[in-house]
């Protein structure tokens, strides 16, 4: 190529890299310039372009007998549309007793309000007829015992058995079941709270928890950084604190706290590794709250206070990637937030990528690659012709009526894979600098995939032209499946597991305990993942004799082993399976077991029995998922009987 041609080509590449995707694309993005204003969150009734919450003050009393939170939520407002004369809020199952507008002199004036008919997914729109544009409104309300974002536990459902327990889970759209607010990640607000609890209980929030605070039933909190509603969190129970280092520690019931602190002893080093890669930790303390086993998720990145399932405390630190993950959200998600659940990969994909980098920094690449291989195998299982619309990273609005329906394979695994692809093409040094700049540039903002794309075009693709074409970049965002450009990863340790499994399947002996003694959770998971869909009953029995899978406390193994026993007709596992399902309520772990059971008439009968016994101790989110899988009760989760107080208002 001679010089003029070269120059022309070089001049064209940056332009080509940042062109808009073809307009016939299913998920055609809005024009980049107006991206922020053009975003609409279909999972909220709020209209943040007219008025937005800037600060929330909660004053709530906790009543364990009635299973309610009751009190006031005061919202400070920023009016953005001069013509606006109403405030639209999200609620679910809330009883609204009164609405008032604050005046500059500090007085309150009663406001008319209306609760719309409930929507099964979104709850009820609350309209406050503000007339003018008051600086604040105060809502007096109480929650329902069935609030989808809260779980009330009797003492018997806790480790210690002496005190009750409550915890929230607000993501994705459950904050509206315990606070009337704009329940969309597009809106960020600071908050403060005063909580009255039974005096024996310690209350915590996603805020400035003080390990030295007296336990007296009257607690105050402040969160000075603006957060989206899904990061609003509350918990109370017989909780004590054990430090890990000067800025991290564990809250748990007394019987568990030392084991938890030992399992999560590397947390301080993880924070340091993350700061080295992506800049300072901006949230002051990083503590972990270990919840009862009914917590419906593995972890939840509530700012300053990660909520975690106790099931990852397995004694060998093999599942601490969960902490790396939730900590990573302190950058990807809590600092730079997705604007809508349709952009969930900006939270979970980035976080899974950062999690891998932290695991690599602490334990080496070999260890990190174990998880990558396992996750990508899961993605191959999950991606099917039926869910093509949920496979692009940018999910079209109509493809996601319920924000909880995203595919794990897409938002977590493919999202992280995309970033690893970019890292490999641009080199680690340049890519790390890009991510540092990205977190800094969008700190405390909520952004869409289009905004990320635009930023990456200008700060990555254009800076090193020729490394990644626009078509390659956009294929990840807008096409289903895994692009051909995806970098492959292998693991010698998992290849050895494959060899051992295949030898056994070819009728050689099972791997000896001298070999398997060195296997971590990941090797066992890979061993089970490679078995046939429905192994012979005798083969399963032989495995169980050799390795005692039945009765395992390890959730990653249980999640895989029990479905194999169901499909292979190995009924000897059933009593232990029932005990496991009675104890653990983590949705990702129990759903594969219930789904396997629901596939046969006999299994379905067994599953319904187990569920009936387990149900009182399960979280509403998990209950809803199991009900759908077993189709036992089609009564909607979200529709409350109309309470008289709210009916009277409109
Ligand atoms: N933020 C998620 C949990 C979540 C996602 C709750 C979407 C509700 C809706 C959290 O960070 C998470 O990803 N948890 C994972 C653990 C992680 C190690 C993959 C989980 O709970 O399984
Ligand atoms: Zn996450």
Residue 70 placed within a domain: yes
- Does 214 lie in the same domain as 66? yes
197, 215, 237: which is the final residue of a domain? 237
Q: Shortest CA distance to 181 belongs to which of 135, 136, 126?
A: 126
Look at residue 508 in the predicted model and tell me its pLDDT.
Answer: 87
Locate the ligand 1 atom nearest the alpha carbon of residue 351 and give its number: 11
Predicted confidence (pLDDT) at residue 17 exceeds the cutoff of 60: no
Residue 556: pLDDT above 50? yes
What is the average pLDDT across 74-88?
Answer: 98
- pLDDT of residue 607 exceeding 90, the answer is yes
Closest-lying ligand 1 atom to the alpha carbon of residue 329: 11
Q: Is the CB of 149 under 6 A from ligand 1?
A: no
Confidence label for 7 from pLDDT (cuts 50, 70 and 90): very low
- Give the residue-averaged pLDDT of 41-65: 98
- Asked if 135 and 204 sit in the same domain, the reply is yes
In a domain, 286, yes or no: yes
* Mean pLDDT taken over the chain: 92
In a domain, 173, yes or no: yes
Same domain, 115 and 219: yes
CA distance 425 to 431: 9
Q: How many domains does the chain have?
A: 5
Burial of 619 (0-12, 13-18, 19+ CB in 10 A): buried
Residues lying with their CB under 5 A of ligand 2, a single-atom ion: 348, 351
446/310 same-domain check: no
pLDDT at 57 exceeding the cut of 90: yes
Mark whether 304 and 366 lie in a shared domain. no
Establish whether residue 147 lines the binding site of ligand 1, counting it when its CB lies within 6 angstroms of any ligand atom.
no
Contact 587, 294 (CB under 8 A): no
> Strands across the sheet with 51-63, in order?
108-110, 95-102, 136-142, 68-79, 51-63, 188-196, 218-228
Is residue 590 lining ligand 1, measured as CB closer than 6 Å?
no
* Domain harbouring 346, CATH code: 1.10.390.10
State the CATH number of the domain containing residue 278.
3.30.2010.30
Asked if 196 and 325 sit in the same domain, the reply is: no
Establish if 434 belongs to a structural domain: yes
Choose the residue to mutate in 175, 289, 290, 300 for probing ligand 1, maximizing ligand atoms within 8 Å of C-beta. 300
Q: What is the pLDDT of residue 432?
A: 98
Residue 40 lies in a domain: no
**Is 326 designated active site?**
yes
Residue 140 has phi, psi (to 5 degrees) of -100, 130
Does residue 222 share a domain with residue 104? Answer: yes
User: Do 522 and 567 share a domain, yes or no?
Assistant: no
pLDDT for 21: 53
The confidence score (pLDDT) of residue 632 equals 55
Distance 326 CA to ligand 2 centre (A): 6
Q: What is the CATH number of the domain that holds 606?
A: 1.25.40.320
Q: Would 309 be classed as within a structural domain? A: yes
Q: Summarize the confidence of residues 157-166 as an average pLDDT.
A: 96
* Domain match, 59 and 126 both: yes
d(CA 581, CA 55): 41
For ligand 1, say whether the CB of 172 is within 6 Å of any of its atoms.
yes
Note down the domain range covering 168: 47-153+160-237
The model's pTM is: 0.93
| Domain identity same for 549 and 637 | yes
Asked whether residue 379 falls in the same domain as residue 319, the answer is no
Q: Specify burial of residue 478 (Cβ count, 10 A radius: 0-12, 13-18, 19+).
A: buried
* Active-site residue (options: 326, 348, 355, 423): 326
Over residues 426-437, the pLDDT tens digits come to 999 999 999 999
- Does the residue 36 lie in any domain? no
User: Between 632 and 8, whose confidence is greater?
Assistant: 632
Same domain, 217 and 302: no
254-312 pLDDT, tens per residue? Answer: 999 999 999 999 999 999 999 999 999 999 999 999 999 999 999 999 999 999 999 99
């Amino acid at each position: 190529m001679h010089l003029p041609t070269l120059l022309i080509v070089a001049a064209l590449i940056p332009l080509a890299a940042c062109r808009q995707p073809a307009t016939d694309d299913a998920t055609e993005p809005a024009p980049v310039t107006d991206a922020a204003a053009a975003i609409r969150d279909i999972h909220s009734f709020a209209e943040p372009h007219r008025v937005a919450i800037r600060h929330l003050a909660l004053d709530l009393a906790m009543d364990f007998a009635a299973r309610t939170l009751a009190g006031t939520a005061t919202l400070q407002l920023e009016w953005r549309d001069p013509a606006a004369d109403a405030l639209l809020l999200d609620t679910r199952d809330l009883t609204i007793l009164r609405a008032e507008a604050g005046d500059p002199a500090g007085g309150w004036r009663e406001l008319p309000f209306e609760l719309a008919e409930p929507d099964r997914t979104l709850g009820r729109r609350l309209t406050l007829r503000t007339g003018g544009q008051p600086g604040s409104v105060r809502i007096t309300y109480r929650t329902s015992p069935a609030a989808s974002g809260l779980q009330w536990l009797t003492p018997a459902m806790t480790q210690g058995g002496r005190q009750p327990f409550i915890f929230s889970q607000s993501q994705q759209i459950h904050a509206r079941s315990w606070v009337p607010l704009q329940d969309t990640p597009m809106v960020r607000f600071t908050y403060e709270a005063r909580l009255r609890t039974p005096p024996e209980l310690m209350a915590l929030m996603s805020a400035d928890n003080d390990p030295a605070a007296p336990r007296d039933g009257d607690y105050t909190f402040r969160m000075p950084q603006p957060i989206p509603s899904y990061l609003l969190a509350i918990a109370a129970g017989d909780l004590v604190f054990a430090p890990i280092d000067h800025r991290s520690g564990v809250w748990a019931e007394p019987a568990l706290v030392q084991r938890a602190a030992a399992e999560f002893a590397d947390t301080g080093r993880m924070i340091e590794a993350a700061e080295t890669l992506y800049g300072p930790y901006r949230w002051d303390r990083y503590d972990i709250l270990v919840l009862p086993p009914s917590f419906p998720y593995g972890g939840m990145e509530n700012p300053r206070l990660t909520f975690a399932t106790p099931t990852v405390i397995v004694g060998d630190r093999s599942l601490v990637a969960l902490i790396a993950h939730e900590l990573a959200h302190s950058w990807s998600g809590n600092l730079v937030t997705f604007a809508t659940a349709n952009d969930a990969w900006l939270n979970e994909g980035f976080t899974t990528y950062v999690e891998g980098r932290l695991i690599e920094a602490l334990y080496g690449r070999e260890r990190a690659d174990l998880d990558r291989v396992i996750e990508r195998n899961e993605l191959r299982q999950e991606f099917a012709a039926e869910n093509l619309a949920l496979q692009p990273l940018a999910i079209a609005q109509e493809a996601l009526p319920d924000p909880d329906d995203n595919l794990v394979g897409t938002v977590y695994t493919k999202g992280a894979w995309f970033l690893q692809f970019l890292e490999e093409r641009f080199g680690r040094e340049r890519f790390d600098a890009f991510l540092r700049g990205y977190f800094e540039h969008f700190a405390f903002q909520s952004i869409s995939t289009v905004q990320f794309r635009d930023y990456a075009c200008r700060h990555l693709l254009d800076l090193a032209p020729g490394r990644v074409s626009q078509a390659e970049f956009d294929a990840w965002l807008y096409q289903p499946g895994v692009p051909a450009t995806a970098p492959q990863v292998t693991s010698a340790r998992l290849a050895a597991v494959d060899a051992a499994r295949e030898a056994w399947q070819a009728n050689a002996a099972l791997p000896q305990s001298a070999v398997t003694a060195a296997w971590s959770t990941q090797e066992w998971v890979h061993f089970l993942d490679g078995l046939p869909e429905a192994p012979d009953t005798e083969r399963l029995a032989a495995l169980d004799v050799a390795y005692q899978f039945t009765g395992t406390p390890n959730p990653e193994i249980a999640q895989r082993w029990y479905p194999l026993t169901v499909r292979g007709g190995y009924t000897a596992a059933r009593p232990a399976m029932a005990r496991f399902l009675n104890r653990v309520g983590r949705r990702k772990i129990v759903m594969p077991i219930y789904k396997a059971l629901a596939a046969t008439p006999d299994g379905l009968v067994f599953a319904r029995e187990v569920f009936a016994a387990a149900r009182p101790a399960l979280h509403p989110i998990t209950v809803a998922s199991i009900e759908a899988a077993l189709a036992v009760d089609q009564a909607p989760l979200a529709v409350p009987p109309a309470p008289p107080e709210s009916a009277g208002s409109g």
